[in-house]
A and B are shown apart, each in its own frame.
Chain A
Amino acid sequence: MAMSREMFWALITSVGLVVTVLFVPGGRVLVLPELFILVMIGLYALAAPGAEITDPDSARPVVDTGPGDDKVHTWPHLVRSEFLCAIFITLLLIVWSLLVDAPLEDPANPTRTPNPSKAPWYFLGLQEMLVFFDPWHAGVVLPSFIVVGLMAIPYIDINPAGNGYYAFESRKIEILTFFLGFHILWISLIIIGTFLRGPGWNWFWPWEVWDSHKVEALTNVNLHYKFGVRTETGAMIFGAIVVLGYFVLGTIAMYMGIVKMKGQEFMQRWGMPRFILTSFLFLNMMSVVIKMVMRHAGNIMYVWQTPWINF
């Protein structure tokens, strides 16, 4: 008889546990907990599903409720996967925890600020956005938009395709948008913030030494300055026109683009509230990209400067 799948995984995990105890430094202290896990695996292999449980693909539904019944019993099909996944992941975590110690630096000292001071890694995307936006914008408004925008997804996406299965072809735009927001922006900003930002939040390539005396020329100027506007009032009016123009023209362009791509009928069905919410959130997301490009390529600081608030 061929070895059943659960036996295979139980064997792999058991071997992993034994190897951990014998060869991983410090692994010996875990003899007792790991014996416990081994006993659990043994009990599981004996008491639970048994060899007659076959792959879900080939398991015959025991109660046939007619054509189209594609259900299988949770026990054992799902419970087995969950159990095996849990012991496998726990094993990985145990090995990782034996090999890599959690960091602990010097005692907290509010008078000694490290350079650079970095937020926890999962917030470094937001910290990196501080380069491009003021704190109220990068740290409060944009994260709020991210959370609200994520929550709005089920209500603005009325495409019936791909409800519960992978459907790349019929959901290209949705998936590309999510990919841009999640992978390109969120993840890459975290990578930049974690690995490429050093003292003074200056850019350091991995092969460069973090020199805390690195001199960076402050050559950033505001957009209105580039266009020859020098007065404060002029800057306010110029910035208002650019920012409001971006949102108004961007909304119009998105409207026309969607009508062209999906047709007027779709726009009717989609409705104005959904469209406005979507375009507003999308334009905000693109503003991050645009400001990043403007800063990195053109040293632009603010697009709209006022005495109270800057964009």
Chain B
Amino acid sequence: MSKWEETKRQITESQVWQSIFRHGYDDTPGNRVQMVSGNVWLHLHPSKVRRHAIRMRFTWCMGGITFLMFLVTVVTGIYLMFYYRPTAEYAYADMKYLEFDMPFGMFMRNMHRWAAHAMVIAVWLHMFRVFLTGSYKPPREFNWIVGVLLLVLTLLLSFTGYLLPWDQLSIWAVTVGSNMARATPLLGYEGPFADWTGANPIYDARAFLFGGGEIGPHTLLRFYILHCIFIPLVASLFMAVHFWRIRRDGFSGPPV
């Protein structure tokens, strides 16, 4: 028995360990299935998967990394929400306060932002991998659609969060990004045929997005609610569908 095995045996057979974990883990097929099907988190997986479908050179791990980044942004985002007030008077000051006074404030903000960027990159690479392996083909067509919706939601999550620091970078990036909305045909006041529909600067697609004719405090509150509640909620629902359908349809792979 190796040194490692010996140490492991000593620990797991100690009184302390056995008082916490009543039963040893007997590595039998039944227990392996139980570990997955009897666990509320792990049962998102099927209890058995196709062997090649779990190789990293097949999956690139990108779907999982996207989900991990989402979880990181949820945890760090909740931390940031404790210290941030989505009003024009306080938002920027709270950012400074967060960065210089709060324990782990700067670190949490960095984690939140970089995880959000990493999530965008990971979701693109995930889509690219799923395309390369043709995993959208029958019977998984609909799950690809759910995936495209999740891609759009990821971008919207990132975009709405971009405004919240309320600095020059954020309001102008969001202004430029949202200016597209005022050019929407029929619905935007600078878009084609706006005269015909009566779209005007305070009543058009962009004003709906901004909560007013110009970007301002109302926009900040609107984006905050979209960013912290509405889009994460919708994205979580779609994620549940996405994962569930992978489980139901089975992991993709070549014919046996």
**Residues in A lying within 8 Å of B, measured CB to CB:** 1, 3, 7, 26, 29-30, 46-47, 50-53, 56-57, 62-63, 68-79, 81-82, 85-86, 89-90, 93-94, 96-98, 100-110, 112-114, 117-120, 122-123, 126-127, 134-136, 138-141, 143, 147, 150-151, 153-155, 157, 160-167, 171, 175, 178, 182, 308-309
Measured in the bound complex, the distance between the Cα atoms of B35 and A89 in whole Å is 24
Measured in the bound complex, the distance between the Cα atoms of B175 and A113 in whole Å is 10
B118 at the A interface (CB under 8 A):
yes
Nearest Cβ distance between residue B15 and chain A, in whole angstroms?
Answer: 16
Say which residue of B36, B88, B133, B137 sits within 8 Å of A75 (CB atoms): B36
User: What B residues does A81 contact at CB under 8 A?
Assistant: 54, 56, 61
Measured in the bound complex, the distance between the Cα atoms of B45 and A153 in whole Å is 26
Measured in the bound complex, the distance between the Cα atoms of B137 and A154 in whole Å is 6
Question: Are the C-beta atoms of B134 and A108 separated by less than 8 Å?
Answer: no
**Residues in B lying within 8 Å of A, measured CB to CB:** 2, 4-5, 8, 11-12, 21, 25, 27-29, 32-33, 35-36, 42, 45-56, 58, 61, 64-65, 68-69, 72, 88, 92, 95-96, 99, 104, 106-107, 109-115, 118, 120, 124, 127-128, 131-138, 140-142, 144-145, 148, 151-152, 155, 158-159, 162, 165-173, 175-177, 179-185, 188, 190-193, 214-216, 251-254, 256
User: What A residues does B52 contact at CB under 8 A?
Assistant: 70, 165
User: What B residues does A108 contact at CB under 8 A?
Assistant: 88, 92, 166-168, 170-171
Nearest Cβ distance between residue B227 and chain A, in whole angstroms?
Answer: 13
15 A–B contacts, CB within 8 A, in A order: A51-B4, A56-B51, A62-B32, A74-B49, A86-B68, A93-B72, A93-B114, A97-B111, A102-B106, A102-B114, A104-B99, A150-B148, A164-B254, A178-B131, A309-B193
Measured in the bound complex, the distance between the Cα atoms of B180 and A79 in whole Å is 43
Question: Are the C-beta atoms of A76 and B32 separated by less than 8 Å?
Answer: yes
> Given contacts A68-B256, A97-B111, A120-B158, are A139 and B180 in contact (CB under 8 A)?
yes
Measured in the bound complex, the distance between the Cα atoms of B46 and A74 in whole Å is 7
Question: Are the C-beta atoms of B114 and A165 separated by less than 8 Å?
Answer: no
Nearest chain A residue, comparing its CB with the CB of B104: A29
Measured in the bound complex, the distance between the Cα atoms of B99 and A64 in whole Å is 57
Not counting A81-B56, A157-B136, a sample of 19 additional A-B residue pairs whose C-beta atoms are within 8 angstroms of each other reads: A74-B49, A86-B68, A98-B107, A104-B169, A107-B92, A110-B216, A113-B172, A117-B175, A119-B176, A120-B177, A122-B155, A123-B177, A136-B183, A139-B179, A140-B180, A150-B148, A153-B144, A171-B134, A178-B131
Main secondary structure of the interface of B (DSSP, over half): helix
Nearest Cβ distance between residue A156 and chain B, in whole angstroms?
Answer: 10
Question: Are the C-beta atoms of A73 and B47 separated by less than 8 Å?
Answer: yes
Measured in the bound complex, the distance between the Cα atoms of B42 and A105 in whole Å is 42
Question: Are the C-beta atoms of A105 and B167 separated by less than 8 Å?
Answer: yes
